[in-house]
Chains A and B, each alone.
Chain A
């Protein structure tokens, strides 16, 4: 083989590296860490999902993409949602999305975003709300819960993660269906509301099912607010079958700011689709009480529109503020 001159060798190498660098430039979207904005405090259901996704999505986005979960709690998640909606649409800011809570916020106050401010990437979790009390309360059925509420004559308190969230809607709708009065006490995130329910500082809760998982010794779930009983908890009745037609849940997914570049969107979608079939990820999500019900793209966007209508309707009929 003919010996190459050092200079030509070097120039070939330089050429090769610059070429590959410029070729890869357009497609290599995650060049740095991607931030996942969570509008709630650490330890709640949304936060747990974000962290589970973050750990597993790194395998599919390329090794430069460390996913960093950042919590911006407060104002019922509004701070976090606005952060995502107003971030640069470059794919380096993603956010967790909570339906219907995030869109409900756009009705009860001035918000700097709407359903059109987001690229709807994928929904991962459908998590029905529950009627839940502390084990020590001695309440064992929905019937008894209603009795206690009637005895208290409007002094029954319900601990909420925030106003305008799915747990709040559940409380409004359940109070209406059972014809009782509830006092809403908002906390800073679901974990703090849960601790207060366990400690008996508020009488009941309407938190999502996943948030009760792992607290079997402290909490008693009286009913789930879903259409059918949950496969992971077949012994718990639905409120519907007990005669209270309340169906409410949390849909938790991943969004990006609207107007994501086509290449970036494609890369993210491919990664997310792969993630949704990763057995380790699915197992992890199941372990945390939130089995994955994946739908992405158009299907997710229409779910968002549907939830938007529900929130609008509740706001018109029973404004919560």
Chain B
């Protein structure tokens, strides 16, 4: 199987797809404000007519490239493209100010490759057994798991919990639009057939993440002094294998955190990036060097934030529950290509799935090559004037939204989502919980109603299954932990202010 999959990869188009994906990803990711989610959302229509393996290779390449691209602007300019590279910026930019920008970028690149490869191996080991367990996941278990995912993003997604809860609910509410999943009753469709499809993921995604950025810039008083930002001088530098080997424990821990946080649907890559940064500092013999340009300070968050993808793909492929926007889009691409997730994915499409796993690992090679080649060039994308950049994004967003279903309604949905996204971002609400709410809302409703149908309306079905009960118990534990942490923090805070 592994060999057949490898042979399927040995195709010039797969290589082309990987390279195009990675290079585009690096360039888009390097532009401040544009992250991996947006890069994927903008490129997905390109993959519609491609066969499954190159299509998904391209999307994964974009994702990996964009994460590295994000660390370019984070390290050299202290302008993290995504919240998850904010952790990298702390020590990375400190190094860059010393002229060690090249060194920081190399460390970031190698660490992200390490994190990625680690999580891929975990994915290969865990995905198939978990998928075979999927038979035990009936409606009740699915409902419990999705509820858990929605709660986890509220509790541990970072930021104000009330804000996250509001965003999740808004997302779930947006998912109500369309035909109801059990009886086909139209809801909030205003007798328009186009609305019976509901609000489709890709137009909403493009609107929330790409179009809202355009609106934000449009309504900004004075464009920030982006054009004349100083790039610190990059002195020639080298990172030897031994330098990375010294950090092996940090890399391993960070990859572990990234992978396993990634498995929990919904949290995303910001939390593991900061978690592993703190862990690396706590384990370090010279914690005072953190913040002033420690190698580990760059390596830890980068390894963690790349390891998330492999982890997030596990529940996506095994149960069809995507962990974040990126895996939701990849899941959409899978379905588009005829690969239905679940217990039989590995049996019926084993070659495709393993080819994709291997592509994820092997694409590290072009990522390193193009990462090293491009970072000095890519950094100049920062000089692109907003008046050139944002019309381009607008055109791509309009095109992308239209091309999903060739429907003009989707374009309006995209623009609407963009405006809503703009208002929400302007008022400081986080967008990822909104997206997870939209992704999981409808399936959650369907599962709950199916479970109640099978149990004749009896709520016992949620306690009688071991799996569902364990998930509910886990949910309760998470609530307790989360409350305990905040009480503890409050106490400590008060204690220190008393002194």
Contacts and interface: CB of A to CB of B under 8 A. Distances in A.
Contacts of A163: 182-184
A76 interface: yes
Contacts of A186: 181-182, 450
B338 A69 contact: yes
A187 interface: yes
A79 B340 contact: no
Interface in B110-162: 134-140
Given A75-B184, A195-B343, A183 B139 contact: no
B456 interface: yes
Interface in A161-208: 163, 183-188, 191-192, 195-196, 198-202
Given A79-B179, A199-B137, A42 B193 contact: no
Contacts of B134: 195, 199
A47 interface: yes
Given A157-B454, A188-B181, A188-B446, A71 B135 contact: no
B282 interface: no
Interface in B456-486: 456
Interface string A120-145: 00000000000000000000000000
Contact of A183 (B334, B338, B453): B453
B335 interface: yes
A186 B179 CA distance: 14
B209 to A, nearest CB: 24
A191 B193 contact: no
B342 A201 contact: no
A185 B336 CA distance: 25
B196 interface: yes
Contact of B48 (A68, A74, A321): A68
Given A75-B184, A163-B183, A43 B338 contact: yes
Nearest to A93: B406
Nearest to A112: B193
B176 to A, nearest CB: 14
B338 A201 contact: no
Contacts of A157: 453-454
A185 to B, nearest CB: 5
A131 B182 CA distance: 22
B197 interface: yes
Contacts of B338: 42-43, 47, 51, 69
Given A157-B453, A185-B454, A33 B49 contact: yes
A298 interface: no
A199 B136 contact: yes
B339 interface: yes
A196 B138 contact: yes
Contacts of B454: 157, 183, 185, 201-202
Given A163-B184, A191-B342, A196-B138, A72 B456 contact: no
A109 interface: yes
A20 B196 CA distance: 45
A155 interface: yes
B335 A109 contact: no
Contacts of B48: 68
A96 interface: no
A43 B137 contact: no
A70 interface: yes
B340 A196 contact: no
A238 interface: no
Contacts of A184: 453
B188 to A, nearest CB: 15
Interface string B318-340: 00000000000000001111111
Contacts of B344: 43, 191, 195
A75 B336 CA distance: 18
Nearest to B137: A199
Nearest to A162: B184
Contact of B335 (A42, A51, A201): A42
Nearest to A152: B456
Contacts of B183: 163, 321
Instruction: Give the residue among B336, B338, B344 with the most A Cβ atoms within 10 A.
Output: B338
Q: Which has the most chain A C-beta neighbours within 10 Å: B48, B179, B182, B340?
A: B340
Contact of A72 (B135, B139, B197, B446): B197
A229 B138 CA distance: 33
B461 to A, nearest CB: 9
6 contacts: A42-B339, A68-B48, A79-B197, A183-B456, A185-B453, A201-B140
Interface of A: 33, 41-43, 47, 51, 66, 68-72, 74-76, 78-79, 82, 86, 109, 112, 155, 157, 163, 183-188, 191-192, 195-196, 198-202, 214, 321
Given A74-B178, A79-B179, A191-B342, 6 more contacts: A42-B338, A76-B184, A82-B193, A112-B193, A191-B340, A195-B134
